[in-house]
Amino acid sequence: MRAARPGGTRVKVGGVEVGGPGFVVMAGPCAVEGAEQLELAARAVAQAGAHLLRGGVFKPRTSPYAFQGMGEPGLKLLVDAGRRHGLPIISEVMEAEQLPLMAEHVDILQVGARNMQNFGLLRALGRVRKPVLLKRGLSATVQEWLNAAEYILAGGNEQVLLCERGIRTFETAMRNTLDLAAVAWAKERTHLPVIVDPSHATGIPSLIAPMSLAAAAAGADGLLIEVHPRPEQALCDGQQAMSPGDFATLMQRLPGVLAAVDRHLYTPAGPAQIAGAR
């Protein structure tokens, strides 16, 4: 795949470019829970220097009795928060039937790990002209991950971002095991941008910053991080969310690591340009 496009693919999202020399950070809560929670999170990540706002409105949960997301009302809150703070938004789509609604409002459509081989959804995303972030499945090989991306690419949508979010191994100390070798391998063998999700990969807040810095050093194009104003009160995955203060500290530390590998944090466009690009 890399030979087909030696310079790599650059995906433009609003006023942000993913896959170039600039390192991109996407941050926000795992799930949109309400207007106040989202506003506090959006303000915190924007002030710290994040480039995109993340937030789940449809949530694939292991238990059917767990919080499933706010749905369309949550999407409206997410869109409004992104506009207020000048941030493009990324949110997960779970099934093809949600695409008309999500594609109209969301800047990057996220495919979660459990849907990596939902081939009907992947084919439908191939027909959508919106960037897609494809998470690696919990037990997927790198080749299976790339084959899943090919379903989207073969449909005509070339705006695909790969996301390493940790895989299931025999290790039980952490929620998952972050496969940084897969990040370096994907950057070497494919032309697609590669994002790392250190929140799901570790499940432990104190490990998010070191794994984020390691991902930057390994050549990742960006991060997808969970940030919650009150992690202990989160309705979804609070145990793996950074506090706003810890996230701000990470953003201050990233430039030093990036400089060591001849990279830098992406310098975003202004809010007016982002709003106009929707």
Task: Look at residue 275 and tell me whether its pLDDT is greater than 60.
Answer: no
| pLDDT > 90: percent of the chain | 82
- 160: β partners: 132
Phi/psi for 201 (5° steps) reads: -65, -30
| Model pLDDT, residue 1 | 67
| Model pLDDT, residue 234 | 78
> What are the extents of the domains in the chain?
22-58+72-268
The overall pTM is greater than 0.85: yes
pLDDT in tens, 4-33: 787 899 999 988 999 999 999 999 999 999
Task: Look at residue 139 and tell me whether its pLDDT is greater than 70.
Answer: yes
pLDDT in tens, 184-213: 999 999 999 999 999 999 999 999 999 999
Task: Look at residue 65 and tell me whether its pLDDT is greater than 80.
Answer: no
Q: Which amino acid is at 41?
A: A
Q: Which of 33-37, 158-162, 170-174, 238-242 has the lowest mean pLDDT?
A: 238-242
- Angle in degrees, CA 136, 151, 177, rounded to 5: 5
Q: What is the rounded average pLDDT of the residues 44-65?
A: 84
Q: What is the rounded average pLDDT of the residues 246-262?
A: 98
CATH class of 22-58+72-268: alpha beta
Query: For all residues of the chain together, what is the average pLDDT?
Result: 92
The beta-carbon contacts of 7-11 under 8 Å, at least 24 apart in sequence, are 7/191, 8/191, 8/192, 8/193, 9/158, 9/159, 9/160, 9/191, 9/192, 9/193, 10/193, 11/131, 11/159, 11/160, 11/161, 11/193
- 11: β partners: 18
Task: Look at residue 66 and tell me whether its pLDDT is greater than 70.
Answer: no
Task: Look at residue 56 and tell me whether its pLDDT is greater than 80.
Answer: yes
Q: What is the rounded average pLDDT of the residues 172-194?
A: 96
pLDDT in tens, 73-88: 999 999 999 999 999 9
| Model pLDDT, residue 4 | 75
Q: What pLDDT band is residue 68 in, cutting at 50, 70 and 90?
A: low
| Model pLDDT, residue 272 | 41
